[in-house]
């Protein structure tokens, strides 16, 4: 009768090493009880197991994917990125091209990396084009406003009313138009409170309308003021005899003319604002394409990138055909001559 082997292993004895049913050497036949030293047989067995180290991808697909991992340290990848550009986005572009073309050998890998660099520069070209358009569109209104302010400064320097033709000739400038309205409000307040004051009133009127002695296309508030101011100097006896308007009535009549002039300027301001808004919108739309110098520069750069990309792609395809033993078309070169 065959003697049964006990399940327990004596405390302090060495574990028997067997090949086991799967013939794998180095594995310990484990028991169910703990040793007398307080550590389990399983822990002791695990300590004697062979160390398994990563051996890398084993399938053809995994090897194909991992063989290009070092390309991100290539000569193009090192120098193509600017300070604020994304390394991960460029790596994604490069890995996509590597998966598409599956290059073999240094030359093919170099050509694929060059394609990625050219595509990245093309991406940068589109960003530059967008920035050029935004610069022309978004800052047009502020630039226009700055020009109007410069004009206002130049006009303000012509302080002598006998030299210039008055602010009214430059009311296409919104600031000048507003200044004319402010001066009329100031004149109205002064006439309403103090009556006609030739020295004060004349200064305001000539600032707005220019020299009242100069020939003008139409009558303006200067002419009306001269009539009412002279009438205000009529002696009281003559006024009563000729039934002229009273000083208060003359003042109210002239104030009414000032109000009408203010309304006219406001209407003109609204009309000009509507026209200017429409013109500004059309100008902004027209600037959705870069202007002459900017467009020429971008087009030349784009043409250069496209030629380089096509040439590199042709070289890569030619190289891969040669490697695969496929027929290769003869290489044609076109040269331009000025003669």
Same domain? 203 vs 280 = yes
Same domain? 281 vs 295 = no
Same domain? 261 vs 198 = yes
In this structure, what is the dihedral angle of CA atoms 57, 60, 64, 65, given to the nearest 10 degrees? Answer: -50
pTM here?
Answer: 0.48
Q: Is residue 9 in a domain?
A: no
Same domain? 97 vs 167 = no
Which pLDDT belongs to residue 31?
43
Q: Is residue 190 in a domain?
A: yes
Same domain? 199 vs 277 = yes
Which pLDDT belongs to residue 232?
75
DSSP string computed for 218-238 = S--HHHHHHHHHHHHTS-HHH
Q: Is it the case that residue 254 has pLDDT exceeding 50?
A: yes
Range of the domain at 101: 87-138+291-319
Which band of pLDDT confidence, cut at 50, 70 and 90, is reported for residue 155?
A: low
Q: Is residue 48 in a domain?
A: no
Q: Is it the case that residue 156 has pLDDT exceeding 70?
A: no
Which pLDDT belongs to residue 209?
86
Same domain? 179 vs 267 = yes
Q: Is it the case that residue 91 has pLDDT exceeding 80?
A: yes
| pLDDT, mean of residues 245-260 | 87
Closest alpha carbon to 314 in 73, 39, 118: 118
Spell out the residues 6+ positions from residue 194 whose beta carbon is closer than 8 angstroms to its own.
none
Q: Is residue 147 in a domain?
A: no
CA distance 174 to 145: 9
Same domain? 110 vs 202 = no
Same domain? 201 vs 97 = no
| pLDDT, mean of residues 35-60 | 51
Which band of pLDDT confidence, cut at 50, 70 and 90, is reported for residue 310?
A: very high
Query: Between the ranges 2-16, 32-46, 52-66, 109-123, where is the mean pLDDT highest?
Result: 109-123
Which pLDDT belongs to residue 322?
92
104: helix, strand or coil: coil
How far CA 218 is from CA of 163, 167, 172, 207, 215, in Å, comes to 19, 15, 18, 17, 9
Same domain? 115 vs 182 = no
| Token pair listed for 94 | 């490069």
| pLDDT, mean of residues 245-274 | 87
Same domain? 176 vs 245 = yes
Which band of pLDDT confidence, cut at 50, 70 and 90, is reported for residue 227?
A: confident
| pLDDT, mean of residues 89-111 | 93
Cα atoms in the 13 Å half-sphere on the side-chain side of 2: 3
How far CA 14 is from CA of 27, 223, 306, in Å, comes to 14, 128, 75
CA distance 313 to 298: 22
Which pLDDT belongs to residue 25?
44
Give the length of the chain.
339
Q: Is it the case that residue 2 has pLDDT exceeding 90?
A: no
Q: Is residue 49 in a domain?
A: no
**Of 265, 286, 307, the domain-final residue:** 286
Q: Is residue 217 in a domain?
A: yes
Q: Is it the case that residue 151 has pLDDT exceeding 60?
A: yes
Which pLDDT belongs to residue 304?
94
**What is the total count of domains within the chain?**
2
CA distance 74 to 90: 12
Same domain? 304 vs 281 = no
3-state percent helix, strand, coil for the chain, nearest multiple of 5: 65, 0, 35
Q: Is residue 279 in a domain?
A: yes
Same domain? 275 vs 197 = yes
Q: Is it the case that residue 297 has pLDDT exceeding 80?
A: yes
């Amino acid at each position: 009768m065959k003697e049964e082997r006990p399940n327990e292993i004596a405390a302090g004895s060495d574990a028997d090493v067997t090949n086991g049913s799967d013939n794998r050497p180095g594995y310990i036949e484990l028991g169910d009880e703990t040793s007398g030293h307080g550590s389990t047989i399983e822990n002791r067995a695990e300590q004697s197991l062979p160390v398994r180290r990563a051996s890398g991808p084993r399938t053809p697909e995994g090897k194909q994917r991992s063989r290009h991992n070092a390309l991100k340290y290539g000569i193009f990848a090192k120098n193509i990125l600017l300070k604020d550009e994304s390394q991960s986005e460029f790596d994604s572009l490069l890995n996509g091209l590597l998966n598409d073309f599956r290059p073999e050998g240094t030359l093919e890998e170099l050509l694929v990396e060059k394609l990625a660099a050219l595509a990245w520069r093309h991406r940068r070209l589109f960003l530059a084009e967008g920035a050029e358009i935004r610069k022309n569109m978004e800052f047009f209104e502020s630039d226009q406003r700055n020009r109007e302010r410069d004009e206002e400064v130049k006009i303000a320097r012509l302080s002598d009313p006998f030299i210039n033709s008055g602010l009214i000739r430059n009311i296409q400038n919104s600031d000048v138009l507003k200044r004319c309205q402010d001066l009329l409000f100031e004149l109205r307040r002064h006439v309403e409170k103090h009556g006609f004051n030739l020295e004060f009133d004349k200064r305001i009127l000539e600032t707005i309308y220019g020299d009242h002695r100069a020939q003008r296309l139409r009558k303006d508030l200067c002419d009306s003021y001269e009539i009412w101011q002279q009438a205000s100097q009529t002696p009281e006896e003559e006024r009563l005899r000729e039934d002229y308007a009273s000083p208060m009535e003359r003042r109210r009549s002239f104030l009414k003319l000032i109000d009408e002039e203010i309304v006219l300027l406001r209407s003109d301001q609204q009309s000009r604002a509507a026209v200017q808004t429409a013109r500004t919108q059309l100008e902004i739309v027209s600037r959705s394409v870069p202007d002459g110098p900017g467009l020429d520069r971008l087009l030349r750069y784009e043409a250069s990138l496209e030629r380089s990309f096509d040439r590199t792609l042709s070289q890569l395809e030619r190289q891969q055909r040669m490697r695969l033993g496929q027929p290769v078309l003869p290489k044609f070169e076109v040269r331009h001559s000025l003669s």
